[in-house]
């Protein structure tokens, strides 16, 4: 089964990527993998404090994934897989794509500001030659109705 990979965070563009992936998976009989990446620079403290921060970051990641999974299930009937990793976002995106041969499309949401956002820019311009799957970039200004219409 072909899966759509989305990168989960707290941004509005994440919601657009989630909706697009859910609708495409629903229409094509595919699946969705939600990747939450905990950045390592959040833990540059004393060992005990770092462990507490790591546990809190993991709890935050799990809560966000469950929240989006509930929304995806209600929207499309698709139950996503979860992946939580620690590292640099771009490197972890590439790693999970390389590890899971069922991932067929990376879906990223672009911001509404001056540019598409740092992750989209980096993956497409700097790492595009390493991506073994197509990338779909969902514009930040796209309405939910428009996303549904193009899927």
Residues 84-103 have a mean pLDDT of: 95
Q: What's the CATH code of the domain at 101? A: 3.40.50.620
Residues 114-134 have a mean pLDDT of: 75
What does pTM read for this prediction? 0.89
Give the CA angle between residues 8, 9, 12 to the nearest 5°.
Answer: 105
Q: Cα Rg for the chain, rounded, in angstroms?
A: 15
Alpha-carbon distance of 55 to 59, in angstroms, equals 6
Q: Which two tokens stand for residue 59?
A: 């709890």
Task: Supply the range of the domain harboring residue 111.
Answer: 3-150
pLDDT-based confidence at residue 115 (cuts at 50, 70, 90): low
Q: 36: closest CA among 64, 17, 15?
A: 64
Q: 42: closest CA among 30, 58, 31?
A: 58
Domain count, the chain: 1
């Amino acid at each position: 089964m072909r899966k759509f990979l989305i990168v989960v965070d707290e941004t509005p563009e994440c919601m657009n990527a989630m909706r697009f992936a859910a609708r495409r998976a629903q229409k094509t009989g595919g699946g969705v993998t939600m990747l939450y990446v905990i950045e390592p620079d959040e833990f540059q403290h004393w060992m005990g404090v770092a462990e507490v921060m790591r546990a809190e970051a993991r709890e935050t990641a799990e809560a966000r994934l469950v929240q989006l999974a509930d929304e995806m299930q209600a929207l499309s009937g698709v139950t996503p897989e979860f992946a939580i990793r620690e590292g640099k976002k771009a490197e972890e995106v590439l790693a999970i794509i390389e590890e899971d041969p069922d991932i067929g499309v990376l879906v990223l949401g672009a911001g509404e500001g001056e540019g598409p956002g740092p992750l989209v820019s980096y993956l497409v311009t700097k790492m595009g030659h390493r991506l073994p799957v197509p990338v779909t970039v969902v514009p930040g200004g796209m309405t939910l109705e428009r996303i549904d219409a193009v899927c």
